Amino acid sequence: MDQIETGWRQELPLEFSQEQVAIFGDLVQDHNPIHFDAEYAAQTSFKKPVIHGMLGVSVFSKFFGMIWPGEGTLYLKQALDFKRPMYVGQGYKAVFTIIEHQAEKHQALIKTEIFNAEDGKICTTGEALIKHPTLL
């Protein structure tokens, strides 16, 4: 990989199905009705079921491990701030922006964000620290 630069940015579209929510709920054993029960969710401020916040941000792992920088990436740290709910069947985009990098340590600090693709409002924001031999 060539030298990376602060400000480099990449986007990844995403959307989740109810089946994916159910699989994730089973995997982590979180069956909170806010994710599955429309009647229950209608009584909340969300008005309809929301996906698990951690399911939404799980795409960060896909991006770092499979897309950039790719295989062999070590995920060292992730800070998260959940701003808005995410819903089944809604389009979103994950945005990754390099904040800084340390070539001698092969590490990069990446701003991680998820936006609603329709209205552009931010759903999740945070920062990830990753390590990969090609981060120079």
CA distance 113 to 82: 10
Q: pLDDT tens, 57-115?
A: 999 999 999 999 999 999 999 999 999 999 999 999 999 999 999 999 999 999 999 99
Residue range 42-58: mean pLDDT, rounded: 97
pLDDT at 104: 93
DSSP for 49-83, written as a single string? ----HHHHHTHHHHIIIIISS-TT-EEEEEEEEE-
4 or 92, greater pLDDT: 92
CATH 3.10.129.10, domain 9-15+53-131, yes or no: yes
CA distance 21 to 58: 12
* Cα–Cα nearest to 73, from 17, 129, 25: 129
